[in-house]
A and B are shown apart, each in its own frame.
Chain A
């Protein structure tokens, strides 16, 4: 166990910090700490410009292998990049679905043509992606997707159905879609994984207004929309494998960056407590101290996960999502309790607005990417080997 960094890593850390300091300036200053989850609508146009600036500095897709256009950084250096990016207040990444999800899936499962066609646009910050997984009837039970993909005589796929909770679909050019490619199949069998341009006649995007007033999620309706034959990833029936592999690709390196943002939020809460005098309230002090403890726990938990602890069962990874999402939701409530009536009126004050967003959006944290209830099932079944929930035969 060793928490010291090597000299090379420290040099790299300085390189990232220096680059951020030199480039997150001028008009980009107003993007600092903006655009994260719950704030995805913050100036998408300028954030796309920022993505291209990052790309020019070769700071996109830093964990991808060099032949895919990445930097091929070690896990340690990826962590350092994400930490320094977040520490500098780097804005929420418009390209995160491309860089973190579909890119790695194509690197793993895509054909050479697919890689050549799609990876450069992700690396350059010129092509943006949306994720078409959830459906009204397939939330926690994702394998229940009903969107149909019918193969046409000309080899193309005709897609009909509805996707929901699609982040940033209105800001994206492409969507990857999990659909039923073999009629009559059930569950995770017979699925296909298709890449589709969003700007086509058979696709309609409708925003969903959230409880906090934002619209970063959408419904996407498919009515005979077309996917070209060469845009099928994997074979017919491989959809589930590709979709799951993609969820695993996001294995924790950005977690420490996320925590830097959490730390920034806790700092805002501490500052708010000072400003409102709640820093004298013993219960508030307890909750703030407890939040700090949680932040340290998440950091060490991530370091355990990244060190690939000798045990084959990654217990720390299994609890990760449940822990951070509930921590974050609690911080949201603490934030507005500290603000008191200041939390009740929509505000543009940079000391208040992020905490209001935190309060509302963190309600989604314990729902998306596996609800609390699904997480507890997974922890009990995979972590503790307890009996599995009955599942209907596929």
Chain B
């Protein structure tokens, strides 16, 4: 039993920390937010080709590094800390994750290598419902029509859809949930993107009436645990991102209160301020233990019920901790915390926006309670 990071993991984390401090500082994030695509293509190219992050968890046979949840979580933590604007989350944490865990061998062969090298940007819906992927299919129906699939309906909340070349769409089929790979330029697809308050990550509504070839269905129905596992991992990766964002809220606040003077002393020397910063640290370190623990379970051979519960735990704690820290950052920055110019507002908006991705904290806890009372998971 060893809970420390190995050398490779430390290297990945440190490289991410340094790279993002450089390319995704406050000015860079604000520039990307204001740009038409919402991210800096040159940074994305460096992430894909120089750093190889897109292939971290892709198996080596498909051109990836063959690593796993721990390494992705470490990168996501740094990404969240810097609010990186890039299609990394949608391509890697959602699309590649679901294809790897639940995709057919043919689909993996077709897509994973280009996803791993970052040459293919992909996405799939991120419902706010705790039910997860199936909630993305409530208004999408796939029927088989003479040798092809017809997929009709509408799905909301697809992140980075406007920039993706491939969309993975969940749909109801006659035998349950199905997953379809749809190139973005397919006829009959309309992508409507709104400008959200948190414009570091944009979401789209996709309206479709599609005629797709038979091999567009890419899930492997025999791998029934795969969808549950990919849902758990997606929650873990969101939690890791929220962890990094919460850490930055605290770091900004500690740094600000160390310089701001009132009554002839820095405000960070007042116990009322110190204790609130300490409360942030308690929540953040507790969350870090939860995220790393769940990641270690994912990298090991945890039973799916336990993994699901632990990733729900990480996601619930992360949503709450991030909102707490972002709100405290505004409060402890005082007047400037309320301005557009200072960064706490960016994290505050991300905190609220991400609070319901794949279920809000209350809904996630209700699921955990159900697992405990049904004895699927033990105290």
Indicate whether B150 reaches chain A with its CB closer than 8 angstroms.
Answer: no
Is B266 within 8 A of A310, CB to CB?
A: no
A297 CA / B316 CA spacing, docked (Å): 12
Chain B 1-40 interface residues, beta-carbon cutoff 8 Å to A: 1-6, 9-10
Q: Is B222 located at the chain interface by the 8 A CB criterion?
A: no
Interface string of B260-281 (1 = CB under 8 A from A): 0000001011010111011101
Give every chain B residue within 8 A of A297 (Cβ-Cβ): 286-287, 289-290, 293, 313, 317
Chain A residues with Cβ below 8 Å from B250 are 384
Question: With A263-B379, A319-B282 as given contacts, are A1 and B277 in contact (CB-CB < 8 Å)?
Answer: no
Total number of residue pairs linking A and B with CB closer than 8 Å = 166
Kindly provide the distance from the CB of B335 to the nearest chain A CB, expressed in whole angstroms: 21
B269→A386 contact, CB < 8 A: yes
Q: Which residues of chain A are within 8 angstroms of B379 by Cβ–Cβ distance?
A: 263, 266-267, 270, 292, 295
State whether A377 touches B366 (Cβ < 8 A).
no
Q: Do A1 and B296 have beta carbons less than 8 Å apart?
A: yes
Q: What CA separation (Å) do A2 and B297 show in the bound complex?
A: 8
* Complex CA distance for A377 and B272, rounded to whole angstroms: 10
Nearest opposing residue in chain B for A317, CB measure: B285
Interface residues of A in 342-394 (CB under 8 A from B): 373, 375-377, 379-381, 383-387, 389
Of all chain A residues, the one with the shortest Cβ separation from B257 is A386
Chain B residues with CB below 8 A from A1, complex form: 2-6, 9, 70, 292, 295-296, 299
Q: How far is the CA of A387 from the CA of B297 in the complex (A)?
A: 38
Question: Once the chains bind, are A323 and B286 in contact (CB under 8 Å)?
Answer: yes
Q: Given A293-B313, A304-B289, A315-B281, are A376 and B295 neighbors across the interface (CB < 8 Å)?
A: no
Interface size on B, residues (CB 8 A): 53
Q: B286 contacts A319, CB within 8 Å?
A: yes
Question: Shortest distance in angstroms between B8's beta carbon and chain A's nearest beta carbon?
Answer: 11
Whole-angstrom distance between the Cβ of A388 and the nearest chain B Cβ = 8
Q: Is B368 an interface residue when CB atoms closer than 8 A count as contact?
A: yes
Evaluate contact between B316 and A293: CB separation under 8 angstroms. Answer: yes
What is the size, in residues, of chain A's interface with B at 8 Å between Cβ atoms?
A: 57
Residue pair B269, A293 in contact (C-beta under 8 Å): no
Q: Interface digits, B291-329 against A, CB 8 Å rule (1 contact, 0 not)? A: 011011101100000000110010011000000000000
Q: How far is the CA of A150 from the CA of B357 in the complex (A)?
A: 67
Question: Judging by beta carbons under 8 Å apart, are A384 and B290 in contact?
Answer: no
Report the bound CA distance from A386 to B273 in whole Å: 10
Contact call B274/A386, Cβ cutoff below 8 A? yes
Beta-carbon nearest neighbor of B367 in chain A:
A289
Q: Does A209 contact B (CB under 8 A)?
A: no
B304 to chain A, nearest CB (A): 16
Residues 255 to 298 of chain A near chain B (Cβ within 8 Å) = 263, 266-267, 270, 273-274, 279, 282, 285-286, 288-290, 292-298
Contact A310 B5, CB 8 Å, known A297-B290, A304-B289, A322-B282? yes
B373 interface hit (Cβ, 8 Å): yes
In the complex, what residue of chain B is closest to A285 when comparing beta carbons? B369
- Of the residues A5, A289, A295, A386, contact of B268 by C-beta under 8 Å: A386
- Enumerate chain B residues within 8 angstroms of A79, measured Cβ to Cβ: 1
- Cβ–Cβ contact A4 & B300, under 8 A: yes
Please determine whether A296 and B278 come into contact, CB atoms closer than 8 angstroms: no
Which A-chain residue is minimally distant from B306 (CB atoms)?
A: A296
Chain B minimum-CB-distance residue to A263:
B379
List residues of chain A with CB within 8 A of the CB of B362. 286
B372 within 8 A of A: yes
Q: CA separation between A3 and B301, bound complex, in Å?
A: 9
- A residues near B365, Cβ cutoff 8 Å: 285-286, 289-290, 293
Ranked 10 nearest A-B pairs via Cβ: A300-B293, A380-B274, A285-B369, A307-B3, A387-B269, A379-B278, A289-B365, A289-B368, A300-B289, A301-B289
**Interchain Cβ contacts under 8 Å between A and B, 5 examples:** A1-B6, A270-B373, A300-B289, A307-B3, A380-B274
Interface positions of A (Cβ within 8 A of B): 1-5, 9, 76, 79, 263, 266-267, 270, 273-274, 279, 282, 285-286, 288-290, 292-301, 303-304, 306-310, 315-316, 318-319, 322-323, 373, 375-377, 379-381, 383-387, 389
> 17 more A-B contacts (CB under 8 A) besides A1-B3, A296-B290, A310-B10?
A1-B2, A2-B2, A263-B379, A285-B373, A286-B365, A288-B372, A292-B313, A297-B290, A298-B289, A299-B293, A300-B289, A319-B281, A319-B282, A376-B278, A377-B278, A384-B250, A387-B274
